[in-house]
Chains A and B, each alone.
Chain A
């Protein structure tokens, strides 16, 4: 196989800034949920000011004014109402954040998948399916915290400290000024938090990721390690690697945690500073013009002091969500070769379905002229100006060694692979054919057909969504699927595919063949349709194929001379060209209907 990474790596990797822009661009997918997630905590912050004010007032009236507890009951009830409202708001905000993140991830997954399917199948085939699946499942998931937590926290950190300072200013200008002075420093704080917390979380994440990578790497090769007698050595090595990681990361963390200590310092100094300032003012040890602190205002300032710094601490706590999201986006970009703009994919047009009753068919002639075909990486030429003519309704076997290009030729004929030269179906160039018409008339059976999640019947209906049970059974009988399906307790309704019953290679191929029969095409392209089958089953399946293909054009790539013997013409693919081959002597095939 070629160096499949090259084409992806050749694309210019997105810069950090581009990834950041892409991430923030995604937020539009969230609809109203994201603004709600951002607004709810801001509103909660406003209510918090009210709550602190009321609490200070109640205490002031009780302690300084000697008011009776019962007289203060309305105040207490108001505080209770405010607490309830704030709890409600924070719950709504949190749930809205999660809803926003889920919407964005859903839209992105659909978009990435639609983009993937819109490519030519040979692009997908050349890539690791595990990595592609991980990009759509895990890497998209990594974006979650960025929208559900980080973005709301960032807005709070940018607005709330400043807003609190402005509110406190008219209450007591010294305390207000203290906060307001720190407020212009908020961007600085944020940079400090960002720099420190990001560095910390990045290093921590890197260290964990490196160990996880090592761990995953060894897990992947567990069987190999065991068979080479390395079980104990590797268990010790895993422990040593984790220990080495601990020592290295602790050295880093010692410094990295300092940044959060700085934040704590501000939070604690805020409380202590206000307490001392207010206390000393009361004692008359500090007296600044224009301040007239009552117990009410003093307590209010004290209650607000920790809250001014709280949004910053929250931001620091969620900073790693940003790092995770960026790493996820970078990985998606690397695997898929670009970052799409997530938008709801246009509603897909309903797949063209053919009427249940077989439509009037017209067999189609196949011709190729000067066809040039390379391996997907362009490393090797498979077909070099090859030509072929096959009359409508004719049947042809193509022989040739493995890897010589038989499968690629069939894929090119089905328009699933890029090729130079001309391919004519019924005299019409392939590229001039309407996609829907092409797909309705040409069917191809690959060497490794995919069995999808769902029942056997679901897999068959992929070819014709509205097919009746009778039609399913007809096609399934022709392809010898009923031979094994009827022995299963659930018959054609047996779940297969990932997480279902594992079909053997031969069974999967017969299901795929039945799928093609159900499709009712005019041209059949079959790649090694009987490769998995013993001689008796092969003959039976071949009978089915020949019975079905009467009046249709049939091209079969095969190793089997038994198959070739039953088709009208035989060509051999060698040296980049299709050469006439002697027709194999037709042998008696057991079970043959002929």
Chain B
């Protein structure tokens, strides 16, 4: 629960709306129970009346009609207000998450989500969190409010039945939900874990497809997948079984309350303490007050996963930043010389990827780092942008240790085209402007020319204003790559760091881009990691990254 409370400040901003939604939810439930109660009372009273003329028909019948209408209206208002509050909450939580994520990316080390899992996990977790209030907390609070009112009413009119009713309420809206939330939270963790294993099993099959065929081992991969899927299914089945048992328990509690009111009511009737109409009314109201409990428990199971989601989000939002802003920042002096001295780094410090690596990139020079994928090229480039700090050694820009420089100044001086650079859901223009927000049209077209994308952009009916589909789906892989390249070229940074800039390009385009690299650089330093063949003159120096150090190739 403390994990949910961590987010209380965000919820508190919507306290008014959430409170109103709660009130309306209680009203809806109460109107429903009252409608049943009044109907039962009215019907029985009418039956017992011998003289129709003496019966005040107007009161009850208009009450019945009024309650029906009120119930519909309050239900409608409840849903609207509740969704309004939830949608506002959604903005708050997402903005909070973004603000907390920026200084903490990229995640590394133990506990970091598996590759490819971060986005789907965060999205699902945030959704679980912002609907928790609407689906679980409000109905739960509503059940308590209505149950409490009914118990009080019983305490006044039929005191003997009140304790049993109270016990049933305590069980059904207190202990059962608490036990279920606890269980579902634990099983929910197993489900998340099992889903991760299942995803890895699927990826084993997809990325290891050729090997599985070559080793005639597809059967083993299928068995591994079946095992992982079975484990997930079993965990989810257990989760569902807990919820089903709890819901059945709630039904039993409702039955217990009904029977106690009936039994003590019958005795009170016999003793002449209450009349028949009141008994019928109380009985039906009791039925109505438990109506929502079974559905409620189904949502409480979700509250468990929302708590787990809140825990994961909290862990991410409060993790120490990957790199710290300097306590006493030194303004970055002019210059663009990069120098790495004895740099050692590994995501797992015990197994460094870079081992005492040295490198100097004088201002305005272009260097290439070659080496097969997995050799640590991207890791090296990440250190240049201070996405991580070396475990030993120093990275210097313009003679200054990167760790002493304000990050914003550093990132204004060095721009990165990463291997997984994304095309955003936005127009072509907006995608480019991320590189330089104040760029003119001429700048944009020049960058597109340099990235060999201008002809394509001109062929689009809407030109720069073309919206790019989800994850840039309307672009081919090569076009998407060139767009990200144009974005990087557009940047005002004095140093461009390009990680496999030509992946996804056909050899002719690749060759043309690389041959033209010195012109596109316009005097800027370029550090390029690639395993493409470099045309003569493309770079000033070439290195091969192997076993954690750079071997000069020229």
Knowing A260-B79, A453-B204, say if A1 contacts B248 (CB, 8 Å). no
| Closest chain B residue to A301, Cβ basis | B43
Give B523-554 interface residues, CB cut-off 8 Å to A: 531-533, 546-547, 551
Known contacts A63-B279, A250-B84; is-contact A224 B64 (Cβ 8 Å): no
A283 touches B212 (CB 8 A): no
User: Is A137's CB within 8 Å of the partner chain B?
Assistant: yes
Contact A246 B280 (CB under 8 A): no
B175 to chain A, nearest CB (A): 16
In chain B between 279 and 332, which residues have their CB closer than 8 angstroms to a CB of chain A?
Answer: 279-280, 283-284, 287, 294-295
- In the assembly, what is the distance between CA of A317 and CA of B258, in Å? 26
Q: How many residues of B contact A (CB 8 A)?
A: 164
Residue among A88, A148, A217, A436 with max Cβ neighbours from chain B (10 Å) = A217
Report how far A415 CA is from B31 CA in the complex, Å: 72
Q: Which of chain A's residues have a CB closer than 8 A to the CB of B446?
A: none
Min CB distance, A373 to chain B, in Å? Answer: 15
- Interface membership of A506, Cβ < 8 A: yes
Interface string of A28-61 (1 = CB under 8 A from B): 0000000000000000000000000001001100
A450 touching B68 by the CB < 8 A rule? no
Whether A1 contacts B476 by the Cβ 8 Å rule is: yes
Q: Contacts A213-B425, A299-B44, A504-B375 known; A254 to B80 CB distance under 8 Å?
A: yes
Contacts of A110 in B (CB 8 A): 222, 225-226, 229
Q: Which of B49, B206, B295 contacts A132 (CB 8 A)?
A: B206
Asked if residues A537 and B547 are in contact (CB atoms below 8 Å), the reply is yes
Contact mask for chain A residues 153-175; partner B; CB cutoff 8 A; 1 contact, 0 none: 00000000000000000000000
User: DSSP majority for the B interface?
Assistant: helix
Query: Does A363 reach chain B (CB closer than 8 Å)?
Result: no
Does B233 contact A117, Cβ atoms closer than 8 Å?
A: no
Residues from chain A with a CB closer than 8 A to the CB of B83 are 204, 249-250, 253
Q: What 0/1 pattern do residues 345 to 375 of B give for CB contact below 8 A with A?
A: 0011001010000000000000000011111
Contact residues in A for B38 (Cβ distance below 8 Å): 275
A118: B residues at CB distance < 8 A: 218
Q: Does residue A352 face the partner (Cβ distance < 8 Å to B)?
A: yes
- Known A214-B425, A229-B411, A230-B434; contact A121-B210, beta-carbon cutoff 8 A: yes
Interface assignment of B13: CB less than 8 Å from any CB of chain A: no
- From B86-94, B145-153, B336-344, B456-464, the one touching the partner chain is B86-94
Say whether B204 contacts A257, CB under 8 Å.
Answer: no
User: Shortest CB–CB separation between residue B400 and chain A, in angstroms?
Assistant: 19
Asked if A428 lies at the interface with its beta carbon under 8 angstroms from chain B, I say no
B195 within 8 A of A: yes
Contact assessment for A446 and B46 in the assembled complex, using a CB-CB cutoff below 8 Å: no
1/0 contact trace for A184-195 toward B, CB 8 Å? Answer: 000000000000
A265–B213 CB distance below 8 A: no
| Known contacts A94-B243, A250-B80, A253-B83; A109/B106 CB under 8 A | no
Enumerate chain A residues within 8 angstroms of B466, measured Cβ to Cβ: none
Instruction: Please tell me if the beta carbons of A94 and B102 are within 8 angstroms of each other in the complex.
Output: no
Is the C-beta of B401 less than 8 angstroms from some C-beta in chain A? no
Q: Known contacts A91-B244, A94-B244, A106-B233: does B412 contact A229 (CB below 8 Å)? A: yes
B118 nearest CB neighbor, chain A only: A219
Are B478 and A414 closer than 8 Å at their CB atoms?
A: no
Whether A351 and B220, one on each chain, are in contact in the complex, defined by CB atoms closer than 8 angstroms, is yes
Q: How many residues of A contact B (CB 8 A)?
A: 167
Cβ-based interface call for A235 (8 A): yes
Which of A102, A226, A299 has a CB less than 8 Å from the CB of B105?
A226
- Chain A minimum-CB-distance residue to B57: A283
Most buried by B among A68, A282, A352, A379: A282
A136 at the interface (CB under 8 A from B): yes
Please state if B72 and A268 are interface contacts (CB–CB under 8 Å): yes
Bound-state Cα–Cα, A138 to B192, Å: 12
Binds B, one of A13-21, A419-427, A525-533: A525-533
A124: contacting residue among B84, B115, B209, B372, CB under 8 A: B209
Is A463 part of the contact surface with B, judged by Cβ < 8 Å? yes
Complex partner residue of B270 from A69, A213, A284, A537, CB under 8 angstroms:
A69
Which among B127, B385, B478 is the interface contact of A212 at CB below 8 angstroms? B127
Measured CB to CB, the closest approach of chain B to A268, in angstroms, equals: 4
Contact B470 A213 (CB under 8 A): yes
Q: Is the CB of A133 within 8 A of B203?
A: yes
**A463 lies within 8 A of B215 (CB):** yes
Residue of B nearest to A250 (CB): B84
Give Cα A254 to B76, complex, Å: 9
**Residue B98 CB within 8 A of the other chain:** yes
Contacts known (A69-B270, A261-B76); A83 close to B199, Cβ less than 8 A: no
As a 0/1 sequence over residues 496 to 516 of chain A, the CB contacts with chain B under 8 angstroms (1 = contact) are 011101101110100010010
Determine, out of A322-330, A437-445, A539-547, A578-586, the stretch whose residues face the partner at the interface.
A437-445
In the complex, how many angstroms separate the beta carbon of A43 from the nearest chain B beta carbon? 14
CA distance A444 to B69 in the complex (A): 75
Please state if A222 and B101 are interface contacts (CB–CB under 8 Å). Answer: yes
Question: Hey, which chain B residues are within 8 Å of A116, CB to CB?
Answer: 205-206, 209
Also in contact, A497 and B200, with CB within 8 A (given A63-B269, A86-B251, A88-B248): yes
Least CB separation from A221: chain B residue: B422
The reply to whether B244 and A113 form a contact with Cβ atoms under 8 Å apart is no
* A2 proximity list for chain B (CB < 8 A): 476-477
**Which of B1-9, B389-397, B413-421 touches A?**
B413-421
Assess whether B71 is in contact with A246, with CB atoms less than 8 Å apart.
no
Among the listed A221, A317, A414, which residue makes an inter-chain contact with B424, where contact means beta carbons less than 8 Å apart?
A221
Q: Is the CB of B36 within 8 A of A246?
A: no
> Contact at B43–A416, with CB atoms within 8 Å?
no
B75 CB, min distance to chain A CBs, angstroms: 5
* Residues in B neighbouring A515, C-beta threshold 8 A: 211, 215
Contact of A109 among B212, B229, B284 (CB under 8 A): B229
Contact of A348 among B218, B435, B510 (CB under 8 A): B218
The verdict on B471 contacting chain A, using a C-beta distance below 8 Å, is yes
B201 within 8 A of A: yes
| A1 and B418 in contact, given A94-B247, A462-B211 (Cβ under 8 angstroms) | no
- Nearest Cβ distance between residue A135 and chain B, in whole angstroms? 9
Contact of A98 with B240 at beta-carbon distance under 8 Å, contacts A260-B79, A504-B353 already known: yes
Contact B547 A531 (CB under 8 A): no
Give A443 to B211 CA distance when docked, in angstroms.
9
* Residues 237-268 of B contacting A (Cβ, < 8 Å): 237, 240-241, 243-245, 247-249, 251-252, 254-255, 258-259, 262-263, 266-267
Does residue B221 face the partner (Cβ distance < 8 Å to A)? Answer: yes
Asked if residues A83 and B36 are in contact (CB atoms below 8 Å), the reply is: no
Interface check A575, CB cutoff 8 A: no
B159 interface hit (Cβ, 8 Å): no
| Complex CA distance for A557 and B548, rounded to whole angstroms | 24
* Contact assessment for A462 and B251 in the assembled complex, using a CB-CB cutoff below 8 Å: no
Check A243 for interface membership: any CB of B closer than 8 A: yes
**A265: chain B residues within 8 A (beta carbon):** 68, 72
Q: Contacts A351-B216, A439-B213 given: A268-B43 contact, CB under 8 Å?
A: no
The answer to whether A276 and B61 touch (CB under 8 A), given A439-B215, A497-B204, is: yes
Whether B102 lies near A528 (C-beta < 8 A) is no
B270 A63 Cβ-Cβ under 8 A: no
Pick the residue among A3, A114, A411, A531 that contacts B222 (CB under 8 A). A114
Nearest chain B CB to A317's CB is how many angstroms away?
A: 8
Q: Mark A85-120, 1 if CB is under 8 A from B, else 0.
A: 011101110110111001101100110011011100
23 residue pairs from A and B, CB less than 8 Å apart: A1-B504, A72-B266, A91-B248, A94-B243, A117-B218, A137-B198, A220-B420, A223-B105, A227-B415, A258-B76, A271-B35, A279-B46, A280-B57, A283-B55, A351-B219, A403-B507, A446-B210, A449-B208, A462-B211, A497-B204, A498-B115, A498-B204, A515-B215
- A sample of 16 more A-B contacts (CB under 8 A), given A228-B491, A436-B216, A534-B547, is A2-B476, A2-B477, A76-B262, A148-B240, A217-B470, A219-B122, A221-B421, A249-B83, A250-B80, A257-B79, A268-B72, A275-B38, A416-B213, A450-B207, A502-B348, A512-B211
The 7 closest A-B pairs by CB, nearest first: A505-B374, A450-B208, A98-B240, A83-B255, A242-B91, A91-B248, A63-B276
